[in-house]
Structure formats: C-alpha cells, structure tokens
Structure 1
Amino acid sequence: MAARPAPAPVTEAVTEAVDVRRRRGVAGVAAKAAVYAYPVVLVVVAWEVVAGSGLFTPFTLPSPERVWDRARTAWEEGTLLEASRITLGRVLASFGLALAAGVPLGLLMGRVRTVRLMFRPVVSFLFPTPKVAVYPALVILFGLGTASKVAMGFAEAVFPVLLATTAASSRVEPSMVWSARGLGTSRAGVLVRVVLPAALPGILTGARIGLVGAISGVFVAELIVAADGLGHDMAVAYRTLATADMYVAVVMICAIGFVLDRLFLLARARLLAWTEEGPR
C-alpha cells in the first residue's frame, strides 16, 4: 500500500526549520570569521591612521599600501614564499621536538618522585635562563644552518610544555589512579590511559605558550645570524635601510603566528571535546 504524502503544512514546517538551521549555521560561520578578522582590521586601520598623521616619516613608518606593494612584489618573485616556508618549517620542527620531549618527561616528573628529584634542579636552573644568551653556543655546536635555529626554537618552547605537563599530571585525582591500578592496569598504562587524558587541558595550555616560544626563538635566531628565513630578510632590510621590506617580514611572521595559533585552538577544541573546555 503506497504511503500517503506528508500534509503540506508539515512539509512547509520541516523546510522552514531546515532553512532556519542553515541560516544560523551561516551566521555562526560569519560571526567566527568576523571575530578572527577583527584584530587584523583594527591593526591595519590604526597603522594607516598613524602613518598618515605625520608623526613619523614614510621612511620610518611606511603606509600599509606601500608595504603591501612590496609584499606582493616579493611574493611574485618567490622570495617571500620561500622565506616563509623555511621559517615555518623550522617553527614546526622546534614545536614538534618540544612536544616530543616535554610531554613524556613532564608526565614522569609529575608522577614519579625519583625522576622529579633528578630533573627539577636542572629545569629550575635552565628555565629562567635567557635562551638568546646561549644562542652563540648553539651556533658553535650546530652550525649556521637550520639546526641551530631549530635548537633555539626548541629551547624557547620546551620549558612551557614541560612545566605545564608536570603541574597538570601531578594534580590528577589519586582515586582515578588507584581505580586503574586496582583493575590491573600497569604503571605505564596508567600514565598513558589515565594521567595523560586527565592532564590534557593543562598540557595543551602549556603547548600553546610553547608554540609562541618556538616562533619567537626561530625568528630571533634568524635575525641574529642566518642565510635564509624571514628573520634573515628582516635583518638584511634593516641593514640596507629598506624599511618597507623590513615591515613585510614583520607582518609575515605575525601572520604565521596568528594562523598557527588559530589552528592550534581548533585542534585543542577537538581534543577536549569530551570536557567542559571543548567547543562551545
């Protein structure tokens, strides 16, 4: 027996509900895009106002239009894309190494007393040390190429990750650990299956700070001594008094940092979807 078609009012109500939901989805995406674009627009407008106010000469503070023209030329020539690719690769390598070293060691320091007693004095000594002060030693050890830049970024990034992981893992509820042990879970299994998920919000907070450290460390290292990268381009522009090109490097490293931070926050929301700190 053929099914009766839905009454017209019901069909219209369903269609209207779908349309409302679709419009809300589009409005939500537009609202998020506006939130992300707002700081960029604000900075550009403030820059344009200050550049046109006469407080600074066009040499010391070029207008956004002039910097954009230089950026477009460098992009068409391929030099800006290549420098950005090199710097971005070094940042990601530094950050990845910081996570690979900082998270496991932080878990052990937070949960194993012997490891904590062994490494706490070393971390307490190295953490407040200005990393730029040891960069000449890193250059001697690793050379003038990429390795010393990655080492500098790693030095800036690893301590926020390490300390945040240590603090977060040490505050995991003992009852959770006792329950897992009572069910026969090994100590290594407790670290991976209980402590790590419970400490993940704190770990990711330290990782976000570490990402900023990796960007700063790599860029400063390139600025001091390098043959390529955005920091090198900025140093060359500064020495040759090409201020517009210098601002191109500044804007590009800021854009890389902004995009990486937004991507990190999206990944964090996905990883913490099961917690109160997940997507809202």
Structure 2
Amino acid sequence: MLGFVIIVSAWQLASSLGLMQPGLLPTPGEVGRVLVEGLWSGNLLNDLLISSRRVVIGVTIGMAAAIPIGFALGWFPRARVTFNPLVNFFRALPPIALVPLVVIYFGIGEVAREVILVYAAFFATIIVVYEGIGGIEEKYVRAGRTLGAGRLELFTRVVLPLSTPHIFTAARISLGIGWSSLVAAELVAAQDGLGAAIQNASNYLDVPTMYAGIILIGAAALAMDLAIRVTASRVLRWQDRGER
C-alpha cells in the first residue's frame, strides 16, 4: 500500500499547491466522492461490470486461439522461423489503429469491440507461449526420451507442465493489454463501459469522472492480475523457484 500512499499524497500536494489551472487537477477527495456516488448509484458499477465482462471474454477467446499456435511455433522450429516475422508484424500494430477497419468489417456492435480485445490478447499470448516452449531446457526433453517417452507422452509429461508457468504469464500480460486496449474497443460507438464513461466525461470536461474511470480500470486490472497470481501459486506448487 505504501506506493499508493505516496502517489495519493503527491497528488494531494500538487492539487493543493495549484500547480495546474483550476478545475484541471481535482483533489483525491473529489475523485473519491465521484467514485463512491457512481458506485452507489450503479452508474460506474454497471460500467465496471460491462468492461470487465468484455475484457474477460476477449482475452479468453484470444488466448484459447493463440495457445495452440504458440505451442506449434515453439515445438516446430521451421514453423517458428516461417511465421515469427508475421507474428511480430501484427503484434506491433496498436489496436486503436484498427478501429476504422473493425467498424467497416464488423459494424459498431458488441462484436466489433470484442474483436479488438481478442486481437490484443491473441498475439501477446503467442509470443509468450512460443518463447516459453522454445526456452525449455534440452536436458528435460532428452531425459524424457531416455526414459522411453514417445512424442505424445513427451508433450503431455514434459512440455505441457514446463509451459504452464508461461501460460499464466501470458494470461497476466494479455489481461494488461486487454485493459489498456479497452478504451480503443469502447470507442466503437459504445454507450456503456468505463472507456465510454471516460470519453463522455471528457466531452464535458468532467475531470473527476475521468479520473474515477481511470482508477476503476487500474483497480479491476490489479484485482484480475492478483487472482491469476494466486491461482498460479496454487497450480505451480511443484515449481522450484530457488532462493531469492
């Protein structure tokens, strides 16, 4: 909590000293009041739930499609050499740059917003998974073959367990990218969600509500990341992390 205390204290100090023009930097108290009122009335709470649902669905679909491809690229060197430049090309494209094309091909409905989030999670997951599999130490593969493991057993008993930590890492990265792409996704004629709330507040220069929406995005992303870390710590109890 110390990091948050430092940030909020610096924020309060900057606001009290009037380092910016009046109205452009609300105090933490003003933003806190907007947060409480918005959550209590259900307006911001509804936006939070809608945005969380969009991110979870988009990231889940993106990861489900990317994990098999990541395994293939990591396990087959020729496939990795062939498709690695293509993957890195699309990974470098920011989702917001694709919004006009998404509108043309998918319209302005919920599908269009999910497509942007799926795209954001898809290529991030591929990179993490295939780099993780490609980095598996050869001694484990050789040990499995020495003990008589066939291709399928080698995959299920060696490669899959050793790649599980990388899948959890991909989930954390993809969720982070998903939340950072949320505003771009909700630019597609969204009437609800935190991205839309921030955009609507900016139209009226409602700075406290903009801050409230940003804080809720960060809080939701932090909560999801913590949930993944707790799950990973339980699933990966077998992993020897060594002394630090």
By the TM > 0.5 criterion, same fold?
yes
Partner of 1:156: 120
Q: Which residue in 2 is equivalent to 1:30?
A: none
Q: TM-score, normalised by structure 2?
A: 0.89
Structure 1 residue 102: Cα displacement: 2.1
Q: Which of 71, 91, 99 does residue 55 from structure 2 map onto?
A: 91
1:75 alignment partner, one of 31, 39, 44 = 39
2: CA distance, partners of 1:62 / 1:132: 28
Shift of residue 154, structure 1, vs aligned partner: 2.0
Partner of 2:136: 172
1:46 aligned to 2:10?
yes
The Cα of 1:232 is off from its aligned counterpart by 0.3
Structure 2: where are the runs of 5+ without partners? none
Seq. identity, %: 31
- Paired residue for 1:194? 158
Q: How does 1:108-119 map to 2 (within 5 A)?
A: 108-119=72-83
Compare 220-229 and 78-87 and name the one that shifted more.
Answer: 220-229
Contact 1:169 1:199 in 2 (8 A): yes
> 1:235-268, CA deviations, whole angstroms, 9 ceiling, x for partnerless residues?
0010012111111111111111121222222222
Tell me if the contact between 1:237 and 1:246 (Cα under 8 Å) persists in the aligned partners: yes
TM-score for both structures, normalised by structure 1? 0.78
How much is the aligned-residue C-alpha RMSD, in angstroms?
2.3
Alignment of 1:218-233 (within 5 A): 218-223=182-187, 225-233=189-197
3-state SS in 1 of match to 2:174: helix
Q: Residue 277 of structure 1 aligns with which residue?
A: 241
- Report the alpha carbon displacement of residue 272 of structure 1 after superposing the two structures with TM: 2.2
Change (3 A) 1:95 1:277: farther
Q: Which runs of 5+ in 1 are unaligned?
A: 1-36
Matches within 5 A, 1:52-71: 52-71=16-35
Code of the aligned partner of 1:100: A
Higher relative CO (Cα under 8 Å, sequence separation at least 6) belongs to 2
Question: What residue identity is the alignment partner of 2:240?
Answer: E
* Residue 205 (str. 1) matches residue 199 (str. 2): no
**Cα distance in 2 between the residues matched to 1:278 and 1:241:** 51
The CA distance in 1 between the partners of 2:149 and 2:67, in whole Å, is 21
Secondary structure of 1:54's counterpart equals: coil
Cα distance change, pair 186–100 in 1 and its aligned pair in 2 (3 A): farther
Rg (Cα) greater in structure? 1
* Alpha carbons 2:23, 2:207 under 8 Å: kept: yes
Structure 2 Cα separation of the partners of residues 99 and 185 of structure 1: 28
Instruction: Work out the number of aligned pairs and report it.
Output: 244
